[in-house]
Amino acid sequence: MGNGGAMRAAVIGAYFYDDFARLKENAERSCEVTHANREAIEGTKAIALAAAFAVREKMGIEILDQQDFIRNIQHELMDSDMKSKLNKCLYLDGNPSMELLVKTLGNGIKMTAQDTVPLVIWMLSRYRNNLEECLWNTVSALGDRDTTCAIAGGVSILCCEENTVPEWITLIENWKKSRFYEH
């Protein structure tokens, strides 16, 4: 029930943004290689769908509010714990505390799709158009931060305004000058 398939799913959704049947088929194929479990597959589909809706928004095909973003993803999934957890996202409207979000949706610490994807979908439903805001809010849930942020960032980058992409690249270490690279 791992979340690895979901980490790879944004590119599938970006490519098949206009064909949900092929999107779901390819998301399932990409996931079952390493995570042949219904919940992992549905989590992978959910993230691929989130990416497709992000692309569709960027292209001006459709604009979704927070609830419709979640509902549209949920509508395309098979009955599963994943679909049920996304239903919980719909009832965490307003400005719930991070503690409530994590308690209800998870934060990836269990390393399952059901404990990772719902939180990311909730974050994307609110912050997908601003990469930096999306990543800071996602990382604040703690847990499996590299996974949740990789998933959220992979989708958010598809629809965010270019001026919201931080210039963090100028602040990172020059790996070619690292003592680990020398040898």
Q: What is the pLDDT of residue 172?
A: 79
CA angle 82, 114, 19 (to 5 degrees): 50
Model confidence at 89: pLDDT above 90? yes
Helix or strand run (H / E) with residue 38 = helix 38-58
Nearest of 99, 88, 100, 81 to residue 125 by alpha carbon? 88
- Please give the structure tokens belonging to residue 92: 């965490």
Amino acid at 12: I
CB of 13 closer than 8 Å to CB of 155: yes
pTM over 0.85: yes
Mean pLDDT for the chain?
94
Model confidence at 19: pLDDT above 90? yes
CB of 162 closer than 8 Å to CB of 168: no
Q: pLDDT for 95-138, tens place per residue?
A: 999 999 999 999 999 999 999 999 999 999 999 999 999 999 99
Nearest of 72, 80, 82, 30 to residue 51 by alpha carbon? 72
Model confidence at 183: pLDDT above 70? no
